[in-house]
Chain A
Amino acid sequence: MAYSPHTAADHERMLAAIGVDSIEGLFADIPPAVRAERFAVPPPLTEQEVRAEVTRLAYRNALPRVSFLGAGAYRHLVPAVVGEVIGRAEFATAYTPYQPEVSQGTLQSIYEFQSMVCELTGMEVASASHYDGATATAEAALMACRLTRRERIAVSSAVGPQTRAVLRTYCSGPGIEIVEVGADLAESGSGLTPVERAAATLDDTVACLVVQQPNFFGGIEPMRELVDAAHDAGAQLVVLVEPTSLAVLEAPGAYGADIVTAEGQPLGIPLSYGGPYVGLMAARMASVRQMPGRLVGATRDGAGRKGYVLTLQAREQHIRREKAASNICTNQALCALAATAYLAAVGPAGLREVAELSMLQARHLAAALEAAGLGVRRFSAPYFAEVAISVTDAARVHAALAERGIVAGYPLWDEYPELADTLLLAATELTTDAEIAELVAALGEVAV
């Protein structure tokens, strides 16, 4: 074993104390009929050998030189100080804070995370974290079913396809029906969720309307109208938000959202091929007892010292077992810490700069493509930092650009057949004028 502390003498001493002759004696309880027949794992590697193998694989990734890919995961600056905080072994090598007296670091940082999520979203209570934005959204929809005692869910087709897929998976078990509200994808359409269509879908059997803001195409949804449509039917409004956008866009609490979820990856978490990320969830205090996930609360000890504990645990699996609000146990605590450190590092001014630079470069990008006659905006509605652009012969062009180390966004036509030849391009604060110029130049060359 690579990390064994035991000498041969230690083994002897322990075996003698136990009173068995050999290690084999400790495995005699495995019935012979089911003992492992094979174990063809490759032989051990030393540190220098394993580093070489990891390096081989890391270098096999031909990372794009220039990328406009977003679609749910975004390339933002991860400040060095964030890596320093989550690299602290006292955070990284602890576990769920079951013993609060020796877990105040983790517990207080979660309380700070909950506070910041509440502040960003304008909501009253936030959970300690979920696996990712998509699972948080699925759990929010199930929570809405419990709150309303209804068993159907309406979801806009302008919610990202991955999120809707996870929602379908989560609902398939208990048999909750999902009805889709088709976004306006017509030629020169808005790309938004039509309020009338949402209203027509909602009735007293629907637990919630699930929408995304900005939506999957970057479009800014008419949230107040959508909230009214949901509430008119007695349904909850669940909104999946992009967290940096909340520096610029209205806080969901202010427009009356009932449950807010987010993919927290943009807040200081590397892309890392899809995870680990962190799901955020916030709600109203009146709904807290149906909320999934851990919660940390402030309290005090006998000597009058302030301290933090896991609280309202009567919602959770280890207490309630089959009556729990969710089965979630281990979540994404260290990623939540990264988001907390990120939000503190950038502050309100920095978060606004990130959001505004991202928005500006997305508009710069769209304008540059339009000016060069290489693409047209597919939708008319205002957008945040991601924009759908129609390009002639998009599949071929996208592949040709990839060969040059440029990823020209996310092809939309597989998931949205109406959006043939349409690419979803994202910008962030890291997107430079030079990268936009390079995309325009390269697209001009391959488009011929």
Chain B
Amino acid sequence: MSVAERSGTAAADASGRGAAFASPAPAEELIVVEPLIFAASSPGRRGVRFPSATDTARHAASGQPDVPADARRGAAPRLPEVSELDLLRHFNRLSQLNHAIDLGFYPLGSCTMKYNPKVNEWAASRTGFAASHPLDPAACAQGSIELEWLLAELLREISGFAAVSLQPAAGAHGELTGMLMTRAYHRSRGEGQTRTRVLVPDSAHGTNPATATMVGYETVTIRSNERGGIDLEALREALNERTAALMITNPSTLGIFEDQIDQVLAAVRQAGAIAYMDGANLNAILGRFRPGEAGFDVMHFNLHKTFSTPHGGGGPGAGPVGVSERLAPFLPGPLPILVEGDPEEVRRNAWAGRTTPRARFALEDPATRPESIGRVRAFTGNFGMFVRAYTYIRSNGDAGLRAVSEDAVLAANYLRVRLADAYDLPYDRICKHEVVFSGRRQKRQHRVTTLDIAKAILDHGIHPPTIYFPLIVEEALMVEPTETESIETLDRFVDVMHGIAEQAAADPEALKRAPTTTPVGRLDEAGAARRPDLRFDFGTAAPGAEASASTETGAE
């Protein structure tokens, strides 16, 4: 911590904003926007207090074995000692340094930053759910299990898959689950050793190849064609008896629906491979395209994207997977099951807001599905997200979900058309929920990069689009407006983007200084990586540092 930070120097003045990195101020003069919580700490200060132990308890416990002296901690952890009010102000001030959906437009492509309805938060905080222990006897948790069962039924209907597991915690975790099931499926057919390659288009999210590696697969990259779709010829060439799966995002990361998807799926099936769909972009196709019905074998849902659960600054999300019949035996468990009662009757009643008499739910016994890949996490999933997603799906209903996709696609196409004059459109065709522009014109003509454009957008109270992704678009700007933004918000974004394009021509240097209105300016990321400062330095060695330095482990 710097001298300035210890004294709690308030926010920066305007004079130095936007200065280049050429003349960095000495480290000890760093200006601190909000001091670390540790700076508010004072020995003996207390926040939350707990009751004293009773004499009854002390007396009763006295004969029980105590923690051995050599297992006891020496020095107490140096956690902050702060009052509740100071704690609250600290985090409230920190929160004010963030951009968020609830503050302004957030067209971050591929992330579906739509409105997170408040009734969903109300729902998740019901005591009946919040105090429900994951290992409670099923008789105590009928509401939790019924909700999981109903959500899985709704996701099945939405996606057209045969079965759903809610367990995975996020999209990438759903991918991992899908690839582990793929591996288990091929092993069950005696092809585990031969099918070791996963085909991934060059437009894919980085999680797809990273997932393939985590299950021991080799990634083979498939090029896209000039229209932004999968090159069918390249795909057919790559598919063979060594192919375990094709992982594709549809609509793609270019925001384009794979208009030869039927042929792609036929080719994959013919090769004996598994067709995986990354469901990140499901928000575009609700009620229009059901991946399971179309012939995909497995897909993950991102409940935090399509079904509006808050993104939380990077989670928690939820990444349930849907599968075809042939992968169903391999789903992770335990699955919520209906052990007594007619599923059709239970659904009908639940859709009418009624509990079905005598219906009984449970978590399955793992022994009943010996081919399951097992658990992918300790319990049945990010349940709090399930409550929110269930509330959202029921609020919207069939008509509402269809309208979600219609309006999401409408908004993206509106921006595509309105901004086509100012920014290059490498794939100028009807898009789905997002549109990918290129800043190459600005870069070539004015040496203004996409990064500069993004930073300039920040000065207008708008979160920039996803940038430099997908990798196949030079200087990419990936814009996903979502369905919940009004036309006035979209028009204002258009005006901002036009203004920036004009400024790129008139005063490119100004864009290089952006942002100038944010709590901090452009940060020295290279320096952060070169000299990692990943934790508060208390001024002495970390507890245990001495032990770790003196221990030979034989590791790198």
Contacts and interface: CB of A to CB of B under 8 A. Distances in A.
A168 B175 CA distance: 17
Contacts of A26: 406, 409-410, 413, 430
Interface in B372-390: 373-385, 387, 390
A299 B528 contact: yes
Secondary structure call for the B interface: loop
B341 interface: no
A interface, size bucket: 35 or more
Given A119-B542, A327-B175, A347 B46 contact: yes
Given A20-B413, A165-B374, 14 more contacts: A26-B406, A38-B157, A44-B400, A50-B395, A92-B100, A98-B466, A104-B98, A104-B520, A119-B538, A132-B378, A148-B554, A173-B179, A231-B551, A357-B51
B462 to A, nearest CB: 9
Contacts of A422: none
B261 A31 contact: yes
A332 to B, nearest CB: 5
Nearest to A431: B57
Interface string B82-124: 1010011011101111111111001010010111110101111
Interface string A196-218: 00000000000000000000000
Return the 7 tightest CB-CB contacts between A and B, nearest first: A253-B544, A274-B379, A234-B554, A122-B544, A173-B215, A334-B312, A58-B128
B67 A330 contact: no
Contacts of B311: 93-96, 330
B487 A13 contact: yes
A353 B51 CA distance: 8
Contacts of A277: 378
B49 A62 contact: no
B314 interface: yes
A408 B94 CA distance: 43
B135 A71 contact: yes
A28 B469 CA distance: 26
B353 interface: yes
B295 A99 contact: no
Contacts of A168: 374
Contacts of A274: 134, 378-381, 383
29 contacts: A1-B396, A14-B487, A18-B414, A30-B288, A31-B259, A91-B91, A91-B313, A94-B311, A104-B34, A109-B313, A111-B534, A115-B536, A120-B77, A122-B542, A123-B548, A172-B373, A173-B179, A231-B553, A263-B378, A273-B144, A305-B33, A317-B210, A318-B207, A320-B210, A330-B314, A344-B79, A348-B79, A349-B46, A363-B60
Contacts of A396: none
A350 to B, nearest CB: 5
A304 B30 contact: yes
A266 to B, nearest CB: 13
B36 A112 contact: yes
A300 B378 contact: no
B403 to A, nearest CB: 4
Given A96-B314, A270-B130, A5 B484 contact: yes
Interface in B273-298: 285-290, 293-295
B48 interface: yes
Contacts of A399: 137
A348 to B, nearest CB: 4
A147 B79 contact: no
A402 B136 CA distance: 9
A303 B17 contact: yes
Contacts of B393: 41
Contact of B133 (A258, A288, A327, A407): A407
A42 interface: yes
Interface stretch (B18-26, B231-239, B497-505): B18-26
Contacts of A37: 290, 293
A72 B378 contact: yes
B131 interface: yes
